[in-house]
Chains A and B, each alone.
Chain A
Amino acid sequence: MESLSNKKKVLEQKPLSFMERMYLPAIAKGMGITISHLFKKEATIRYPEVEREFSANFRGMHSLKRDENGKERCTACGLCALSCPAEAITMIAAERKPEEKDLYREEKYAATYEINMLRCIFCGLCEEACPKEAIYLDGPIVPADYLRKDFIYGKDKLVEAPLEMKK
């Protein structure tokens, strides 16, 4: 049948020539190739000691950001939870008291904020939905653990360190 793509090649099956049947030239060639790899740099990265560099747009663990005065940006609007296709985010909002003015930027804040890292698919939609620039997926790889409950990350793990601690 006529080939439409014109990519078809008829495979020729010739009997091996004398040199090919001797195997030795081909073996010598192959061994030359393998020995040349002995002097090449190995591709291995010794993982726990050395880590591969991530690309600039890598999406890792979430972090809840603070503003320039060290106040939490999150206002518990719930848009991240709403945008999350995996329903990994839950939160409980609370009203800021006057003496907490230095802790939270807006009058409403997230009293608890939990992300289930087993549900999260690291799509970055929460990041895009946030109107306050409060959540970014700029952390490292989420580490392994033994129990399901330990994968539910609360504010203790998610919120950025306070400003003075950063310095």
Chain B
Amino acid sequence: MDTGFIIEKFILVAVIFGISLVIAMYSTYAERKVAAYLQDRLGPDRAGPFGILQPLADGLKMFMKEEIIPTTSNKWLFIAGPGLALLCACIGTAVIPWGSPMLIGGKVVPLQVSDINVGVLYIFGVVSLGVYGVMIGGWASNNKYSLLSAIRAASQNISYEIAMGLSIIALLLMTNTLSLKTIVEQQHGWHWNVLYQPLGFLIFMVCSFAETNRAPFDLPECETELIGGYHTEYSSMKLGFYLFSEYINMFVSSAVMATLYFGGYNYPGMDYMATLLGPTWAPLFGTAILFAKIFFFIFFFMWVRWTIPRFRYDQLMNLGWKGLIPLAIANIIITGVVIAIIEKF
């Protein structure tokens, strides 16, 4: 553990943290623009050219607003809630391989903060922790709507985590590893896992919509029933943290989907590009490809949000428990049988 290693990792962490915050910031802008264009409108276009300064204006507004903490709330938990939500959203980026190892000044630097051998489990753990931010916030508000919404969010996340975990197991049967770095390396070129696990990907994607509390599974924020949902009592930047963590979650889910199923930084013709660009620039090009995939998924999240109406709560539970979980189990069985047959012959 030398100083160079620590500095290298520190820079990487800072860069990834910065990028994910900027992406989350501009996701709010992109969301409004996408919504507008899908509805034949213009969207924000007053702050700066094309309205690109809109996120800054929104952030400033959030900071300047009066901060209200209800007197009957549990003050410490009330403050801890949004912090926890944002923290859990951010630390998921630590295990995602952002690119193949890169040559900088005669030193090979892996573009991944830490390659732990249980990377997939880590992601799941962090995603599961995310619900605590919502739960604690809703509970500490001492408001029946917040509490109901927090309970909804918790039960929804738990239900869909099961299907998500099961859909991943079929993938793990094929990869034989939990390390995200190895999983990505196995998808070299165009051997993307989505080609072998289309059903698994579909289940994983639907579940990640539910995990990020995005439409059509945005029941925790159901205005007509629950006012603002779990952040009814929040104002100022605490509210901003909750909204922000949703967008960071979206970014992380997109990154995980791109990494697990869409080949991460791999793309067809990458060997040719590697000889063309050299060991310094080829990994960066791969990173750009990964971000292109991530941006597509973020756009997809928004596209779905502005198309599909919200599920009813019993429909949500039906879909989760009676639809996705049996499908995921069937997927595991089929994958297992096929792998056994291939290994036998």
Contact = CB atoms under 8 A, between A and B. Distances in A.
Indicate the size class of the contact surface on chain A: 10 to 19
A35 B308 CA distance: 13
Nearest to A29: B307
Contacts of A43: 40-41
Contacts of A35: 38, 303
B321 to A, nearest CB: 14
B42 interface: yes
A147 interface: no
Contact of A27 (B37, B307, B319): B307
Contacts of B36: 42
A41 B41 CA distance: 8
Contacts of A44: 40-42
B35 to A, nearest CB: 10
Contacts of A33: 307
Interface in B249-306: 303-304, 306
Nearest to A27: B308
Contact of A41 (B39, B40, B307): B40
A34 B40 contact: no
A31 B42 contact: no
Interface string B303-322: 11011100000000001000
B41 A42 contact: yes
A13 to B, nearest CB: 16
A161 B61 CA distance: 45
Contacts of B38: 34-35, 37-38
Contact of B307 (A30, A40, A46): A30
B323 to A, nearest CB: 8
A31 B41 contact: no
Contacts of A42: 36-37, 40-42
Interface string B110-145: 000000000000000000000000000000000000
A34 B41 contact: no
Interface string A16-40: 0000000100010011011101101
A33 B319 CA distance: 24
Contact of A34 (B42, B45, B306, B319): B306
Contacts of A38: 37-38
19 contacts: A27-B308, A31-B303, A31-B304, A31-B307, A34-B306, A35-B38, A35-B303, A37-B37, A37-B38, A37-B40, A40-B40, A42-B36, A42-B37, A42-B40, A42-B41, A42-B42, A44-B41, A44-B42, A46-B45
Given A41-B40, A42-B41, A44-B40, 11 more contacts: A27-B307, A27-B308, A30-B307, A31-B303, A35-B38, A35-B303, A37-B40, A42-B37, A43-B40, A44-B42, A46-B45
